[in-house]
Structure 1
Amino acid sequence: MNLIRPFLLLTLSAALLACGGSDKKDSVPALNTQETLGAALFNDTNLSLNRTQSCATCHMADHAFVDASTDSSGATRAVSLGDDGVSLGDRNTPTAMYAAFAPDFQFAERSRFNTNQGGYTGWLGGQFWDGRATDLEAQAGGPFLNPVEMNMPDKASVISRVLENTDYAEAFEYLYGDNIFDDTEAAYDALTAAIASFERTATFAPFSSKYDKSLTGDYTYNPASLATTGKALFFSGQFTNCSTCHQLQRNNHREETFSGYEFHNIGVPENTAARTANGSAAGFTDLGLAANDAVADANNLSALEGKFRVPTLRNIGVTAPYMHNGVFASLDTVIRFYDKHLANSDNTINPETGVAWASPEIDRNISSVILQSGPKLSDTDIQGLVCFLYSLTDEQFEDQLPADAAECGL
């Protein structure tokens, strides 16, 4: 089974509209499309228990839809703070940008490009780091009920908050039928469909980076620049394995998301600082994909432990910290972490700690064949790859790139 672009699938949103449009044709509400309703819901803090948190709280529109909030030391949080002002999560909040391009969670085959690793067969897609939400609708419904996020006790409580807002009530009945609130499940599905529709708009997928402009002839990489060096390395199957996991389409495709949505364990160490802050029990281990209920019946469940979904690299230059647990602060560190797996690598020290890399949180199921293939990188190679990744930043966020972007020749 090959990946299918999600926009071509029959979505719940379309089904709801087809089945439930209101008969009240003489009155058009202020929020009269799924997208505008979804945008309002996405930004509404009243839908959390203490009325302090919305989807936008952890997916900030001005910061590439990640959580850019800072802790008491002024550092960007590795994990997000909950509606109660105390609880902290255990995973880094991923960007909501380009999330609509992830295929539904499935066991499938995937073709790879610019690699000598062959194709991929296994679990892929879905939303969240472990793929536990099949699609955008399922993902949209999760945070409201998560006790360390928006902390609502149940779906009925969420819908009660929706009904407090006259504009919402009118919009739901107009879009989904006069009787939509007779069934809590149906109303909750309508809520998640609206938010998902908003997340499928161009707001979340502008494709406006310098890389995108280079495909249309509106930008040309300076042949002598570090970014050009990095671009050549990124798409090389000989000198790096970047594109093995971070290329979805054939070269120069105008909707490349820079993720194949596979699941891998790359040996990421535990974020001990985050665990201390969130009060995790001693010995707690994040099992990643293996904790996804959808794979509970897998023949060898233990073989899935420690695997996380490959993230998009779009806007990666402005969405630090990195990895599923936010353990690394800079892209330079991330590239050096990948390089340390290679034979004779010079990157034996974590530049952020000044000591040897910490052990993987889960030291089995590591994708060693991919990680250990290829020659080691020079400092110039690493800087070039970082610069190319900076060029994947959408236009409206370019002013948020780190200071070293000035050296990239972009």
Structure 2
Amino acid sequence: MVLDCGIFKIFRLRKRAETQATSAQDTQAKHVTTPKAETKVKVNRRQALISKSLSIAGFILSRRGGEETSIEETSIDEDDGEEELQVVRDKEIKDCERKMEAKRNELTAINDRKRQLDSERRDLQNQACILLREFKARDKDMGASIEAYSKACHLQFSAILFKKLPLELRRLVYDAILADLPTKLINLEKGKEHPLIKTLPQNLLQHPCVLPSYVGLSVSREFVERIYESCTFRTKSLSIASWFLRTDIFNLDVIPKLHIRHLLVNVYSEDQSRDFFTALPVLMPKQASYLQKFMNIKKSQGFKLTFLLLSANSKQNTRNLLLALGSWVYRFRKLGMEVRVCKWVDGWGEESTAIGRDFTAAFKEDVTASRTRIETFVNWSEIAVDRRPKDVLWQNTPLT
């Protein structure tokens, strides 16, 4: 609008200047007969002044029109940018709403599927419970049938075994069965509620060969006797050892002291309340009574009795324990027993088949000579093997 007005003004001024120039030429033509130099100069000056004024006016108007035009264009651009931004925002909002609606529909579908799966799971659980009850009932019936059939087969086979094979061959069969045991060293521990709970491994107490209902009374007795003859039994105190020797654990009228061949007894030096040895070179009366019961063991010929010294970390404790055991070692030997005296090696653990330091060679001669050898053994126990005297027969040997 402003630009149009400026152009119109310029056009009108130019038109006026042209009209004045034409009038001046007509006047000059009329007065040709009387030309004057001064009048002509004035007309030319006036035309030049008008042209200059028109140029200045046109320049000023063009500047004003350009500024106003740029301002108007800027305002137009700003209005157009806001409109475009609003359009973009509206489009983004619509897209977000559309995506949210899609997510809602998807979540609804997932919840419906979850409820369907939960319903199917409950139905399957109910069916599984029904099948499990049926399976247990059938398994119970089948187990009873299998047990009866197995007992009958075992009884028939064991009867043939006991009748056809001599005792030597039957013992070989028992040894092959006992070879499946994890260890031949059985730790004895009296249970808190019942003496049989922790005395022997559960897999041994529940073995079919020790049950008369499977193999018969004669075979089960022979198998239990072979257990006592082939395994090493380790006791933590002399009282438990004494209890074990006179207790019929399997209820088969088999007394361990009549058949046991290897007994390992832990010997302590500090604790007197648990019926262990004291640190004195003599035995207390109650402790000596436990050793006295070992002399009642039947079949003493070939019986192995191992004393494992524990808590004898100092030379003094070791010497006292060896001196206290000296007289009993010789008494057991007179009965035909094989007696060993070993010291537990640190780091192997009490429950393992540890390698013991064998002090048995210190008791070769009589009691008087053994005292000197015990002193020699104790003094040289911590010395390297290559520096020990040749008469010190020191060696590390397995306990079983």
* TM, length-normalised to structure 1: 0.23
* TM, length-normalised to structure 2: 0.23
Larger relative strand fraction: 2
State the structure with bigger RCO (CA 8 A, min sep 6), 1 or 2: 1
Larger radius of gyration: 2
